[in-house]
Amino acid sequence: MRVLNYLELADHLDRSGIGTSVDHQRQALADTPVEVVTSPWADDHPAWALAGNAAFDDPVFKQYDLAHCNMIGPGSVAVARHAKRNDIPLVLHAHVTREDFKGSFRGSNLVAPGLGKYLKWFYSQADTVLCPSEYT
């Protein structure tokens, strides 16, 4: 089995709680027969995958049997849509909530209501949603 364990913006989140969670997820799979893929993109970067592959009808996405996303951004939305179109099971990790986002930086309270609607839509794309805490 080949599993995508994707952390969008990994370079910026490597020292965060989300980054630590992803490290633990990958460590848990290290001693199993599961092959872990960390990037969904055929050329390991969305821009290169789109520019280099779309023009030649090559796949933009790597092959995997299950997709697991840990963030909520456009890359994760692309993975979710690809999974749905290709009947690939999708697991989303609910690391981000509207309540956690609210009050986190100047202007976040203005964005939080819209974020709540987006999160409801995004998390509803999954076959399974994993929550890191009972609160979440």
Enter the pTM of the model.
Answer: 0.79
Residue 80 lies in a domain: yes
Residue 13 lies in a domain: yes
Q: Is the torsion defined by CA of 69, 73, 79, 80 positive or negative?
A: positive
Buried b (16+ CB within 10 A) or exposed e, 68-99: bbbbbeebbbbbbebbeeeebebbbbbbbbbe
As a whole number, the mean pLDDT across the chain is: 81
Residue 51 lies in a domain: yes
Tell me if 6 sits within 8 A of 76, measured CB to CB.
yes
Tell me if 136 sits within 8 A of 94, measured CB to CB.
yes
Run of H or E including 129: strand 128-130
pLDDT at 18 exceeding the cut of 80: no
CATH of the domain at 116: 3.40.50
**What phi, psi does 67 have (nearest 5°)?**
-110, 135
> Quick check: helix, strand or coil at residue 87?
coil
Residue 42 lies in a domain: yes
Domain that holds residue 15: 2-130
Q: Which residue has the tokens 């949603």?
A: 129
The pLDDT score that the predictor gives to residue 52 is 46
pLDDT tens for each residue of 32-85: 999 999 999 987 666 554 544 454 455 789 999 999 999 888 999 999 999 999
Q: How confident is the model at residue 16 (pLDDT cuts 50, 70, 90)?
A: low
Residue 136 lies in a domain: no
Closest C-alpha among 85, 72, 70, 84 to residue 39: 70
Residue 20 lies in a domain: yes
Residues 97-109 have a mean pLDDT of 67
Question: What angle do the packed helices 108-123 and 74-85 form, to 10 degrees?
Answer: 10
The total of structural domains in the chain comes to: 1
Residue 73 lies in a domain: yes
